[in-house]
Structure 1
Amino acid sequence: MTTCRLCGSASMAGVVDLGATPPCERFLTRDQLDEPEVTYPLHLRVCTECWLAQIPPLITPEDTFTEYAYFSSYSQSWVDHARRFVEGAVDRAELDENSFVVEVASNDGYLLQHVVSRSMRCLGIEPSVNVGQAARDKGVPTLTAFLGPETGAEVRAEHGPANLVVANNVYAHIPDVVGFTHGLRALVADDGWVSIEVQHLLTLIQKVQYDTIYHEHFQYYTVESARRALAVGGLSVVDVELLPTHGGSIRLWARPFEVAGEPSARMVDVLAREKAAGLHELSGYTAFAAEVDRVRLDLLRFLTDAAANGKTVVGYGAPGKGNTLLNHCGIRPDLLAYTVDRNPYKHGRYTPGTRIPILPPEQIALDRPDYVLVLPWNLREELTEQLSYVDEWGGRLVFPIPRLEIVEVAS
C-alpha cells in the first residue's frame, strides 16, 4: 500500500505485520483439504496525515460477502444489544410509526426485527444472498446490494429519506470508504441521524486485540479518523458512546453538516483520551508489534506444554478473529484437536489455513477435554455461562487475549 485510501497521502507507517493468511471466513470443505489455499499479506499501516489505520484491499467485498458464514442472531447477547440500541434510538431520533429506518449490512435481521416489532417502516441493505434470505424469512424487508452513492440514491428515490441509518460493524469492511460514506449521506434525511458502531482502535491497541485484524476489515478507526472519514460525505460526528462490544467499540452519532451543531462533551473526552494515548501521532503505535509477539509466544507455550503433559485442548468458536490468531500462531490440529461452533453452516468444515475441524458444540461434553480455548473472547461473559458445564470434569477455559488466562468455571 503506497497511499491512504481516505486522504491520498503517501505517508504510511507500518504498525504490525502478521504475515500472509487466507481470508478468515473462507472455511474449507473436506473435499478442499487436498487443494492449495490462496493467502494474502496482512500488514496493518497507519496514515500519518489523517491517522486512518488500514490494510491493503487485497480481496474484494464480493469475494467475502456474496455468501457469508456469519449470522448475527447466533449470539443472543448481540441480539439483546441490538434491541437495547433500537430502544435508545427511538428516543434520540424521535422515531414513530411514520419513520423510516435503514440498516446497512443488516445481516440476518438481528436488529431490524426490533424495528418491525414496533410497526415502523424499515429496509435492510445486505450483500450476502444467504444471510439476507434469513432476514426475509423472519419478515425483515431486505435488499441484496452493496451500498454506494448510486444504491443510496435509488433507495431514497423509491422509499424516501431515512430518519435513521444504522451501520453496525460494516464501516471497517468496505475498501471504498469515500463512496460508502456518500452512500450513507444519500440515504439519510436532511434532518436525520446516522449511527455507526465499529471497533475502537484505542482498545485494539491497548488490549492487544490484534486478532481482529483480518482481510475483510480494511480500516480501523479512532474517533478522530472516523470524524475525518464521515466529513468527506457531508456528515459530522456529534456524539460518541463507548461500548464493551467486540472488546471495545465506539458508537458514532452523525448528522448532515447543516443540522449537526456542536460535538458533545463525551466526544471531546474520547478525543482527548486518544490523543493522550498517542494515537493522533506515531508514538502510540510503535510498541504494538512487540505486544503481539508476546500474545503469540504465551499461547504457543501453553499449548505445547499441554501437549507435552498429555492434556487435551479443544476450541470454542470459529470466528474470523480466531482464524487470524490460529494462522499467526501456526496452530494446527496437533495442538488444537478441533473447535466447535453454534453455527450449523460451519459444521463439518475446516478453519482456513490451519485446517482444524469444526464440530457441533455438543462434542465438548462427549470428549470432556482438559482445556477449552475460547476464540470469540469478546463474548466472554456469555460463553463462560454457556460453558459452565466443563467444571463437571474439572475442565478449564482459556482466554488468549489480552493476556493468557486460565479460568476455572463453576457449574
Structure 2
Amino acid sequence: MQEIVRKADGCRVCGRDDWLDVVSFGETPLAGDFLDPDAPIGAERRVPLEVVVCRGCRLMSLRHVVDPEAMFGHYRYVSSESETIMSHMRRLVADADLAEGDLVVEFGSNTGVHLDLFRRAGMRVAGVDPARNLAEIANARGVETVPEPFTGRVGARLTERHGRARLVLGRQCFAHIDGVHEVLDGVTAVLDPGGVLTIEVPYLVELLANDEFDTIFHEHLSYFSLGTLRTLFGMHGLDLVDVRTAPVHGGSIVVSAAPRGAGRPERPAVARMLAREDALGLSGDGPYLEFARHTEAARAEIGDLIRSLAAEGRTVAGYGAPAKGATLLNACGLTREQVLFCTDTTQLKQGRLMPGSRVPIVSPEEGLARRPDYFLLLAWNYADEIIAREGAYLEAGGRFIVPVPRPRFVTAPSAVPAP
C-alpha cells in the first residue's frame, strides 16, 4: 500500500506535528473502490482510517493521506441533481449577486451540472476537476473544464484565457484536498480584487453534535470549523465576509471570503458562529473525545439492530450507495449476509459491489421491486426527500431505518408501529 498512502507529517493548515488521537476505524477499504461482481475476496485497497485533531489550529483530519489519483482519477461520484441540491444551488446563484458576463470559476466542478446553472443565468463559467472522466462529461455539455488539480499555475492559466473571476466556488470538495494552500494559490491567481471566494464544506460542529461518524472516509481528509478556515484563509490574504448554514450533506456551512483590503464588511453571522465555536469548547479536547465515545456506541447499536433483524428472517437492503454508506457498513461489521443489496441512481455504481461489505448495488427500480422489509437509509442526508418520494413503499408495509444520529424507524402514517 506504500505506493498510494502516506502518513501526514504535519497539519495541512498550520504545519504543526502535534495531534490528539480521536477515533480509529482500523484499515478500511477506500469508499470509492466499488468492486466488479467477480472480484476476489480482499481485492479492495485497505488504508488506515484514523481521525486526529491538530493541537495548533484545531483542524480535525485524517492521519493518513491517500494519493488523489487513486481516488479521483476515475471518480464514480456524480454531482447530485436531487431537488434538495438543485434548490440549494439556485439559492447560491441568486445570492452571488453577479452581472451578466461575469466569470465564475468552480474547482471540484464534477460534471459541470451546477456551473451550468450560472451559465444559464448569463455568466461565463470555467471548471477545474482532477477526475478526467467527469471533466470529459462536463466538456461535452459545454462547460469548459480543466482535468487537473486546482493550483496557482492552473489559476494563472485561467486568468490568461478568461480574465479574472468575480466568483470562485468550491462546493463539497475543499475537505477532500490535501494541498489546501496550493488551491488557495489558485484562488488568488484567478480571483478579481473585488471578487469573492465561496466554499461549502461539511461543518465540524454538526458532525460532532449529530455523531455523523459515517461521513468519515478517506476522501474526506479535513473536517473544518469556521475558526480553522479563518486561520487558513488569512495565510493567503483572504478575510471572512459571510457564513451561513446549509441543510445539505448532514449540515454544511457556506463560507465567503474576499481579498484583504477589498472593503467588504464582515457580516454579523461570522462573529456569531465563531463565538458559538468558542462556547462549545472546540479549542479543547472534550468535544472530540465525547464524539469518539458516541461513535463506538453508535457502531455497536446499528450493527446489533441490523443483525437482529436479519436473524429474525427480516430482509434488509441499503437505500443509496454513497461513500458514507461504505463507512457505515464496514464500521458496523455488516455484510451481504445482513444487507442483501443497495440501490443507487448512479449508473457507474450499478452492477458493482460495495467495498469491504461486498453488498451488490442495483438500480432503485430493481430494489423497490424486490420489496425488502426494511431499507437502511445510507443516503440519510436526503431522508426527507427520499421518504416523501417512496410513499408507495411505505404504504405497502415497507419501513426505513434512518441510522444517524441514532437508529430510528420510519413507517407510513397508517402503519402499525415498527418494532
Q: TM-score range by the shorter chain?
A: over 0.9
Aligned counterpart in structure 2 of residue 58 of structure 1, from 65, 71, 74: 65
- RMSD value, Cα: 1.5
Cα distance between partner residues in 2 of 1:34 and 1:300: 22
Q: Is the 8 A contact 2:35 2:44 kept in 1?
A: no
Aligned counterpart in structure 1 of residue 51 of structure 2, from 44, 47, 52: 44
Please report how far the alpha carbon of residue 258 of structure 1 lies from its aligned counterpart in structure 2 after TM superposition: 1.9
Cα distance between partner residues in 2 of 1:388 and 1:17: 38
Please report how far the alpha carbon of residue 133 of structure 1 lies from its aligned counterpart in structure 2 after TM superposition: 2.2
With structure 2 as the length reference, what TM-score do the two structures score? 0.94
Aligned counterpart in structure 2 of residue 288 of structure 1, from 253, 270, 291: 291
Q: Is the 8 A contact 1:82 1:110 kept in 2?
A: no
> Which residue is equivalent to 2:82?
75
Letter in 2 for 1:29: D
Segment of structure 1 superposing worse, 49-58 or 39-48: 49-58
Query: Within the alignment, does 1:110 sit opposite 2:113 as a pair?
Result: yes
Cα distance between partner residues in 2 of 1:252 and 1:118: 22
Query: Within the alignment, does 1:255 sit opposite 2:264 as a pair?
Result: no
Segment of structure 1 superposing worse, 355-364 or 49-58: 49-58
Query: Within the alignment, does 1:173 sit opposite 2:180 as a pair?
Result: no
| Aligned pairs, number | 407
Structure 2 SS opposite 1:397: strand
> Which residue is equivalent to 1:314?
317
Map Cα deviations across residues 108-153 of structure 1 (whole Å, 9 max, x no partner). Answer: 1221111111222110112212212222233222221110111111
Cα distance between partner residues in 2 of 1:210 and 1:399: 14
Cα distance between partner residues in 1 of 2:138 and 2:413: 36
Q: Is the 8 A contact 1:239 1:253 kept in 2?
A: yes
Please report how far the alpha carbon of residue 275 of structure 1 lies from its aligned counterpart in structure 2 after TM superposition: 1.1
Structure 2 SS opposite 1:103: strand
Query: Within the alignment, does 1:217 sit opposite 2:220 as a pair?
Result: yes
Aligned counterpart in structure 1 of residue 23 of structure 2, from 16, 20, 27: 16
Structure 2 SS opposite 1:36: coil
Q: Is the 8 A contact 1:40 1:58 kept in 2?
A: no
Query: Within the alignment, does 1:391 sit opposite 2:398 as a pair?
Result: no
Query: Within the alignment, does 1:246 sit opposite 2:249 as a pair?
Result: yes
Query: Within the alignment, does 1:127 sit opposite 2:130 as a pair?
Result: yes
Q: Greater share of helix residues, 1 or 2?
A: 1
Which portions of structure 1, spanning 4 or more consecutive aligned residues, are displaced by more than 3 angstroms? none
Q: Is the 8 A contact 1:33 1:355 kept in 2?
A: no
Cα distance between partner residues in 1 of 2:161 and 2:198: 22
Q: Is the 8 A contact 2:50 2:64 kept in 1?
A: no
Q: Is the 8 A contact 1:236 1:260 kept in 2?
A: no
Please report how far the alpha carbon of residue 34 of structure 1 lies from its aligned counterpart in structure 2 after TM superposition: 4.2
Please report how far the alpha carbon of residue 65 of structure 1 lies from its aligned counterpart in structure 2 after TM superposition: 1.2
Letter in 2 for 1:31: D
> Which residue is equivalent to 2:159?
156
Q: Is the 8 A contact 1:74 1:343 kept in 2?
A: no
Cα distance between partner residues in 1 of 2:227 and 2:70: 30
Q: Is the 8 A contact 2:238 2:260 kept in 1?
A: yes
Query: Within the alignment, does 1:355 sit opposite 2:347 as a pair?
Result: no
Closer/same/farther in 2, CA of residues 148 and 42 from structure 1, 3 Å limit: same
Cα distance between partner residues in 1 of 2:322 and 2:287: 28
Cα distance between partner residues in 2 of 1:410 and 1:142: 47
With structure 1 as the length reference, what TM-score do the two structures score? 0.96
> Which residue is equivalent to 1:3?
10
Aligned counterpart in structure 2 of residue 88 of structure 1, from 91, 95, 104: 95
Query: Within the alignment, does 1:298 sit opposite 2:301 as a pair?
Result: yes
Provide structure 1 residue ranges, at least 5 long, that are not aligned to the other structure: none
Structure 2 SS opposite 1:153: helix
Cα distance between partner residues in 1 of 2:299 and 2:256: 36
Q: Is the 8 A contact 2:49 2:64 kept in 1?
A: no
Cα distance between partner residues in 2 of 1:262 and 1:346: 45
Aligned counterpart in structure 2 of residue 191 of structure 1, from 186, 189, 194: 194
Query: Within the alignment, does 1:32 sit opposite 2:39 as a pair?
Result: yes
Q: Is the 8 A contact 2:23 2:50 kept in 1?
A: yes
Aligned counterpart in structure 2 of residue 404 of structure 1, from 395, 404, 407: 407
Map Cα deviations across residues 137-194 of structure 1 (whole Å, 9 max, x no partner). Answer: 3322222111011111111122111010001111101111111111111121111100
